[in-house]
Amino acid sequence: MFVPLSLNNNGPQVDTPTITLPNILSAPPVKATEPTNLCGWVLEEGGKPSMYKGGKYAVALSKWDIRYLCQALFVSRWSSDPSTKVGCVISDSQDRPISSGLNGLPKFTFNLKEEDLPQESKRLMVVHAEVNAIQFAKEVPFGSNFYVTHHPCGPCMAVILQKNPKRVFYLDSCDQSKSLSANWDSSLAAARTLANHSSIQLIGVDREKIEAIFKEMVTL
């Protein structure tokens, strides 16, 4: 039986029940009744993603963890990739937003569209959300947190580790239609190997629950 750690609600406080969304670095609108009793799971060594199969131990999510996961979902909607839309948000150790990014072709690549590219070619050309978020940031300080809508791949995890973060959250699901295809299995395994041999926590969070909260928070 896994016992959740105590909730950590430290961080910026708001004076009103809702927060507007003036730009991509602001937290999505949050209801006064937003849940803060969700947990993520750190996987066993060599374990495969799926928080429903259990994990090494539970990590309670703060309200800011939930907000930034929802914001990553919001940012992912701007991706022009027709098959997989990924968003990433970075916050510092005090829960202040630093940067965000989404997956897409590099800038200044004219007359190229994701939908016109073969899948294998596209995988080699697209800049991933985590990399874009790091590049857009002026600085990613020690002990930052990453919030990603999908499990980071091996190369992205390697770049993330160069910034020495504290935690990397990603959305996990038993619904295979919402997960990355089997073509990514070896890359995801490499990412978990890197995480298991570093000081960071790679934390899977229930995608369905976060998506349900997101739908209540934001009306587009």
Would residue 121 count as lying in a domain?
yes
3-state SS, residue 16: coil
DSSP annotation string for 75-108: HHTT---SS---EEEEE-TTS-EEEEEE-BPPTT
Q: Residue 120 is inside which H or E element, if any?
A: helix 119-125
Token pair of 63 as six digits: 């309200």
Would residue 17 count as lying in a domain?
no
Would residue 19 count as lying in a domain?
no
Q: Cα(60)–Cα(151) distance, rounded to whole angstroms?
A: 19
CA 24 to chain centroid: 15
Per-residue pLDDT, 53: 46
Number of domains making up the chain:
1
What is the sign, positive or negative, of the torsion defined by CA atoms of 207, 172, 70, 153?
A: negative
DSSP annotation string for 14-64: -SSS-----STTSPPP--TT-----EEEEPPTTPPS-GGG--SEEEEPPHH
Token pair of 46 as six digits: 């060599």
Would residue 20 count as lying in a domain?
no
Let me know if 130 is a catalytic residue: yes
Per-residue pLDDT, 44: 57
Per-residue pLDDT, 85: 94
Would residue 35 count as lying in a domain?
no
Q: What is the DSSP letter of 203?
A: E
Provide the residue type at 149 as one letter. Answer: T
The residue segments making up the domain with residue 121 are 40-217
Residue 141, judged by CB atoms within 10 A of its CB (0-12, 13-18, 19+), counts as middle
Question: Do 102 and 87 meet the contact criterion of CB atoms below 8 Å apart?
Answer: yes
Q: Name the active-site residue from 44, 130, 139, 211.
A: 130
By residue count, the chain amounts to 220
Residue 218, judged by CB atoms within 10 A of its CB (0-12, 13-18, 19+), counts as middle
Nearest one of 152, 18, 4 to 72, comparing CA atoms: 152
CATH assignment at residue 96: 3.40.140.10
Would residue 96 count as lying in a domain?
yes
pLDDT tens, position by position, for the chain (220 residues)?
A: 333 333 344 554 444 344 333 343 444 443 434 455 677 777 655 555 544 444 566 788 999 999 999 999 999 999 988 888 999 999 999 999 999 999 999 988 887 888 778 777 788 889 999 999 999 999 999 999 999 999 999 999 999 999 999 999 999 876 655 566 667 788 988 999 999 899 899 999 989 999 999 998 875 4
Q: Residue 202 is inside which H or E element, if any?
A: strand 201-206
